[in-house]
Structure 1
Amino acid sequence: MPGAPNRITIRPDDYHVPYAGTAGDGRKFFLSDELYTADASYVGLFLWTADGAFDSVQVDSLTRPSNVPPGQAAPGVDGDEVVQTRLKQLGKYVLEPIEVAPFLRTVDGVEFGWRFEVFEGTATVNIEPGDFICYYEPWDGYEYDT
């Protein structure tokens, strides 16, 4: 798509991006328990090769808490346990900024990844499903909206 970035930077932080960095095998990763649809929550482990090209996405479907309003990100039931299991799979990892290619993949009928869009003249890359993080140009990962 014209204007879509070839690479974006994802920076770990203490807010919505606690797990981004380099896995023990050299692959880049982003792990989140805040992915969601109207009726399900997910833990998603997104993996890229060492040079930032898409490698794979691993998805765990969880029960969405009943007290969370539609359209709001929230960890699914037992999400912490799944996150810890996925972190162990990464081996000795380092939390650090990563520069990676956006992608979208469908898993069990749900799109996961980074969706490029232009809305009212502003280009964005949104993490899906749930559209809970939205990155903007210059794609350096310092600022995002939730």
Structure 2
Amino acid sequence: MAIDHNTFEAEHVGHTADGGQFFLTTPFEPGGRSFVALYLFDRDGLFVKAEIDPFDKGLYQRRLKDLGKVTFDRIVVEPFEVERFSQTFGLVADEPTTSDEIWWVTAEPGDYMAFAEPWDLGEYDT
């Protein structure tokens, strides 16, 4: 699944100096807490790890700085999910339950980015 860099929810996606891929974002519980989430992937787009903490603007900026030299650009990564703070985080695949539904991959918690086929489009719905 592709995510194109933009000036909105995908402002901080791209590649690290070693070729790995990253997605730094701020998922949220609707009507509740916000978080800083850094998702790391290898150069093939396989999920490596997630660093998730309660939202703090300073922490967000430190996570970005700690990545070192980065290039903000398109990433191509696999869906994944992890549990933290009694929440499911990640790019979560939602399999259709009937033949007239489609596959979705949503950024969770908060369902703030929704991806559908074609997976290489790089765009999402909000």
The answer (yes or no) to whether the contact 1:19–1:31 under 8 Å persists in 2 is yes
The letter of the residue matching 2:72 is L
Q: How far 1:84 sits from its partner (Å)? A: 1.2
CA RMSD after TM alignment: 1.5
The letter of the residue matching 2:39 is F
Report whether the alignment pairs 1:90 with 2:64: no
The answer (yes or no) to whether the contact 1:25–1:90 under 8 Å persists in 2 is no
**Residue 32 (structure 2) aligns with:** 39
**Deviation string for 1:86-143 (max 9, x for gaps)?**
1111110001111111100111321111111137512110001111000110012433
Report whether the alignment pairs 1:121 with 2:101: yes
4+ aligned runs moved over 3 Å, structure 1:
none
Percent sequence identity over aligned pairs:
34
In structure 2, how many angstroms separate the alpha carbons of the residues matched to 1:127 and 1:51? Answer: 20
The letter of the residue matching 2:68 is G
Higher fraction of strand:
1
**Residue 22 (structure 1) aligns with:** 15
Matching residue within 90, 97, 108 for 2:85:
108
Change (3 A) 1:23 1:31: same
In structure 2, how many angstroms separate the alpha carbons of the residues matched to 1:12 and 1:136? Answer: 17
In structure 2, how many angstroms separate the alpha carbons of the residues matched to 1:105 and 1:137? Answer: 23
User: Any unmatched runs of 5+ in structure 1?
Assistant: 1-7, 63-77
**Deviation string for 1:32-90 (max 9, x for gaps)?**
12x1114210011000011111100001213xxxxxxxxxxxxxxx42x2221011111
In structure 1, how many angstroms separate the alpha carbons of the residues matched to 2:85 and 2:124? Answer: 28
Change (3 A) 1:141 1:107: farther
The letter of the residue matching 2:104 is T
TM-score, with normalisation over the residues of structure 1?
0.77
